[in-house]
Amino acid sequence: MAGDRGRNKQNSDSEFEEKVLFINRCSKTVKGGKKFSFSALILVGDRAGRVGIGFAKANEVADAIRKGSEAAKKNLVTFEMEGTTIPHDITVTWDGAKVFLKPAPEGTGVIAGSKVRSVLELGGIKDVVAKSLGCSNPINLVRATIKGLLSLRSRKETLALREA
């Protein structure tokens, strides 16, 4: 199952697309040898403005992936979009990760690093420029990206706040 890293899975009973972003192997030395455990970072999205992440640990890779996908479906979030891009620039930090997201003209595509790109693509954003500043920890990068998407505001919301 370790070869599934980065491949997309489409469940027939669900409208969500699932992607394994990162699998980490951890070993503990015990009296009889080494005991391995695995953690999996799973991303779930519908490519229409909803995305969720799940992080799970288990003694087998398949179990970690299954638990992570269940957690991701529970943690779905919805965010603002403006056509095929985001409404405005935003810089977000989460622990050591700092992510900069900038709207782009139609036809630009998703210009971003691998983990940030996955979140944006499964979220349904087609035109955006992103830059990861700071750490390269996959979990923190994904959480920073989702935090940025959640803090986006549409033009109507911003104008309403200015008038009030």
- State the residue for tokens 């469940």: 11
Evaluate whether residue 95 is within a structural domain.
Answer: yes
Query: 86 and 103 in one domain?
Result: yes
Evaluate whether residue 16 is within a structural domain.
Answer: yes
User: Rounded to 5 degrees, what are φ and ψ at 26?
Assistant: -120, 135
The DSSP result for 25-64, as a single string, is EEEEEETTEEEEEEEEEEEEE-SSSEEEEEEEEESSHHHH
CATH number of the domain at 141, please: 3.30.230.10
Evaluate whether residue 163 is within a structural domain.
Answer: no
Query: 89 and 60 in one domain?
Result: no
Query: 99 and 69 in one domain?
Result: no
Evaluate whether residue 7 is within a structural domain.
Answer: yes
pTM value is 0.87
Query: 93 and 47 in one domain?
Result: no
Domain that holds residue 24: 2-77
Q: pLDDT (tens digit, 9 = 90+) per residue, 108-156?
A: 999 999 999 999 999 999 999 999 999 999 999 999 999 999 999 988 8
Taking the CB of residue 81, how many other CB atoms lie within 10 A of it? 20
Mean pLDDT of the chain: 91
Evaluate whether residue 46 is within a structural domain.
Answer: yes
